[in-house]
Structure 1
Amino acid sequence: MSGSGGGGYVPPQSAKFDCNTGIINTSVSSVDLTVLSSQNIGDILQVELSETETVVLSDGNGEILGSIIHTNTADLIECIKSGNEYEAVITSINTPSCRVKIERI
């Protein structure tokens, strides 16, 4: 039997991503292994919106390393649409995976 109140379980709300100070540490999804092979820890990637409005990471040659799927992705997309620019620093490479730290430029 449930306790008093009768309300269902409400999960805690995640903190909204702050466009100015927010940092995302995450793994890159759909990694292009050819692009990854030319990357090193500490390399800086551009954080961009694709034509389908997914967050993608591209290197200095315009090649896409992969995409970002994170609990704050929707907030990050809104920040980018509002004119904020971000970069991703590669923090680890363990082929075929790669982790990055995303911050505002």
Structure 2
Amino acid sequence: MSGSGGFRGYEPPARIQFDCQSGTIKTNLSSVVLSILAIHNVGDVLNVEIGPTGALILINNNRQIIGSIMHANTRDIIQCINAGNSYIGEIISIITPVCTVIIRRV
């Protein structure tokens, strides 16, 4: 039996705040638009922007949305963009429908 100081349950690790200057994240895109993804390849470098709904999105040079970025640091990256930083997403893997990208500052 457990006395005082017993098991307190699961406590997730503290989230580390994203560094606007040097931070990078590796993540799978959410809400991937398969018809747009189909015209891209591993190694393509695309733009990370704040979309019209406030979501963080990955878009190509034709302004077509490929997907959204859902990550623990999404809110931090949005704040960094609002502070004047710019980010790109490089496609490092495509196993349709999954597209993995690395997000970093330009």
Gaps spanning 5+ residues in structure 2: where?
A: none
Amino acid at match of 2:64: E
CA distance in 2, matches of 1:94, 1:88: 17
Q: Does 1:22 find its partner at 2:38? A: no
Using the TM superposition, give the Cα deviation of residue 19 of structure 1 relative to its aligned residue in structure 2, in angstroms.
0.3
**What residue is the counterpart of 1:97 in the other structure?**
98
CA distance in 1, matches of 2:92, 2:4: 46
**What residue is the counterpart of 1:13 in the other structure?**
14
Deviation string 1:65-98 (CA, Å, 9 cap, x unpaired) is: 0000001111111101111000000000001110
Using the TM superposition, give the Cα deviation of residue 52 of structure 1 relative to its aligned residue in structure 2, in angstroms.
1.7
Using the TM superposition, give the Cα deviation of residue 14 of structure 1 relative to its aligned residue in structure 2, in angstroms.
1.2
Could you state the TM-score of these two structures normalised by the residue count of structure 1? 0.91
Q: In angstroms, what is the RMSD of aligned CA positions? A: 1.7
Q: Percent identity?
A: 46
Q: Does 1:69 find its partner at 2:47? A: no
Could you state the TM-score of these two structures normalised by the residue count of structure 2? 0.90
List structure 1 runs of 4+ shifted beyond 2 angstroms: 1-5, 7-12
Amino acid at match of 2:93: S
Q: Does 1:41 find its partner at 2:47? A: no
Distance 1:87 1:10, change over 3 A: same
Gaps spanning 5+ residues in structure 1: where?
A: none
Amino acid at match of 1:49: I
How many correspondences in the alignment?
A: 104
Q: Does 1:80 find its partner at 2:81? A: yes
